Amino acid sequence: MRYYIIAGEASGDLHGSNLMRGLYAEDPEADIRFWGGGLMDAVYKEHQQGTGLVKDYKDGAVIGFTQILLHVRAFAKRFTDCTTDILRWKPDVVILIDYPGFNFRVAEFAHKAGFKVFYYIAPKVWASRESRVKKLKAFVDKLFIVFPFEIPYFTEKGVDFIYKGNPLIDAIDNSEAFKETREEFLAKTGLPDRPMIALLAGSRNGEISSMMPTFMEFADRLHSIPEYSEYRFVVAAAPARSESDYTKYIRGREYVSVVFGQSYAVMRHAKAAVVNSGTASLECALIGTPQVVAYKGSDLNFQIAKSIIKIQYISLGNLILDRICFRELLQYYFTPENVLNEVRRMIEDEEYRSTMLSGYQEIRDALGGEGASAAVARAMIEELRK
């Protein structure tokens, strides 16, 4: 069968690559065309000849309401390119991975054009823009959800869904980060053998520019404390970014390093992590590194978000537990001093650290076991064969 997959950001590239492995394993005749990134492209090249990648996600990753408005023309062209390609290629199914701003439009188009539409990793309609539930029901043939708290929500809303667990567990447990020793990781990255603090700013332009200045001020303050002077601050950079995206903020700080494409390993070997809200915070919990979550956007974006977001927590781990497992520093609370205090507490207060790690185990247990990506691929193929 012919599968047309659309992933618009780094997390979608990760989940898309694991889904593709499952599709190739379950369907020997699978022919895949996709919008995604390097991870999806690598899986494609293991199984098919030629070029399957239509557009790399890094060419269009933006964040925030105002930035989206500034990129309207580019979004319109991308949408036209996508729909034209779908019509030309004529897939058996269009599989959309998260990225709702773009993918909802594709879902409507594909459905009206007569294509079957699957949505993998539900848009967070339970957090904001609940009106989109109507679009899910109207334009999506099957929704594949990845969080247990979504089950009662989508059941109540009457959305046709399938739940097979969360694919992050597979992605993390099978990653290279857990196949190499600390010594091998240090040798590969050139980092000194010192205690590390992981800094994860996100993969989008707006996230990096919002997070990095405060990250650097925090690093300066912690480094100035004698008992932390040997610590190394490691920015886990998204593979799609360039070094200049980060070095312009680091400005010669010898105690700050940038490592590309090694986020899991950086988190695994760090004493603590400061993480931009999003998928990375759940990854950090599943890896088992104490963390503080941060978010900062423009004042306008933040006020808009506050007006439409109706959930109590922004971190997936806290949402899964329905309580605070790790602290969230949002907007005005995301200051160097607050980050400093929280990181010191995670390192110095053993009871606080232990309680957080116990919560992490609860999160992992709630998400189910291994094999989610393969199970979703099987379920998709079963749906297509009905």
pLDDT (tens digit per residue) in 155-172: 999 999 999 999 999 999
Domain count, the chain: 2
The predicted pLDDT at position 298 comes to: 61
Answer whether residue 62 shows pLDDT above 90.
Answer: no
CA 90 to chain centre: 29
Q: How far apart are CA 331 and CA 364, in angstroms?
A: 28
Considering the domain architecture, whether residues 277 and 240 belong to the same structural domain is answered as yes
**Does the pLDDT at position 63 exceed 60?**
no
- Residue entry with tokens 């995206």: 245
**In whole angstroms, what is the distance from residue 80 CA to residue 218 CA?**
44
What sign does the CA torsion over 340, 343, 346, 348 have? Answer: negative
Integer Cα distance of 53 and 203 in angstroms: 20
Query: How much helix, strand and coil, in percent to the nearest 5, is found in the chain?
Result: 55, 15, 30
Residue 303's pLDDT is what? 56
Average pLDDT, the chain: 92
Question: What is the domain range of residue 221?
Answer: 173-366
Tell me, yes or no, whether 186 and 137 share the same domain: no
pTM score = 0.85
Give residue-wise pLDDT tens across range 81-140: 999 999 999 999 999 999 998 999 999 999 999 999 999 999 888 876 788 899 999 999
Whether residue 292 is predicted with pLDDT greater than 80 in this model: the reply is yes
Q: Which residues contact residue 96 at a Cβ distance below 8 angstroms, ignoring those fewer than 6 apart?
A: 5, 6, 103, 106, 107, 117, 118, 119, 120, 140
**Checking DSSP bridges between strand 291-295 and strand 53-56, what pairing results, if any?**
unpaired
Work out whether strand 161-163 and strand 196-200 pair parallel, antiparallel, or are unpaired. unpaired
Strands (E), 168-320: 196-200, 232-237, 256-260, 272-276, 291-295
136 and 270 in a single domain? The answer is no
Q: Do 262 and 332 fall into the same domain?
A: yes
Which pLDDT band, with edges at 50, 70 and 90, does 311 fall under? low
Yes or no: say if 191 and 234 are a contact pair by the CB < 8 Å rule: yes
Those residues with Cβ within 8 angstroms of residue 144's Cβ, 6 or more apart along the chain or in another chain: 118, 119, 120, 121, 122, 161, 162, 163, 164, 376, 379, 380
Amino acid at 239: P
Kindly state the average pLDDT of the residues 368-376: 92
Q: Indicate which CATH number applies to the domain containing 332.
A: 3.40.50.2000
Question: Are residue 134 and residue 180 in the same domain, yes or no?
Answer: no
Q: Please choose, from the candidates 324, 321, 249, the residue with its C-alpha nearest in 3D space to the C-alpha of residue 292.
A: 324
One domain for residues 138 and 277:
no
**Which residue in 197, 195, 358 sits closest to 275, CA to CA?**
197
Name the region of 281 (left: φ>0; alpha: ψ -120 to 50; beta: rest).
alpha
Do residue 227 and residue 359 come from a single domain?
yes
Together in a domain, 291 and 194:
yes
Q: Are residues 110 and 242 in the same domain?
A: no
Residues 293, 188 share a domain: yes
Q: Are residues 202 and 90 in the same domain?
A: no
Cα(192)–Cα(126) distance, rounded to whole angstroms? 44
Query: Is the pLDDT assigned to residue 310 strictly greater than 90?
Result: no
Round to the nearest angstrom and report the end-to-end CA distance of the chain. Answer: 13
CA distance 325 to 347: 16
Nearest to 37 by CA among 18, 19, 17, 23: 17
pLDDT of residue 66: 46
Domain identity same for 95 and 182: no
d(CA 154, CA 305): 22
The SS3 assignment for 145 reads strand
Q: What φ, ψ does residue 339 adopt, rounded to 5°?
A: -65, -45
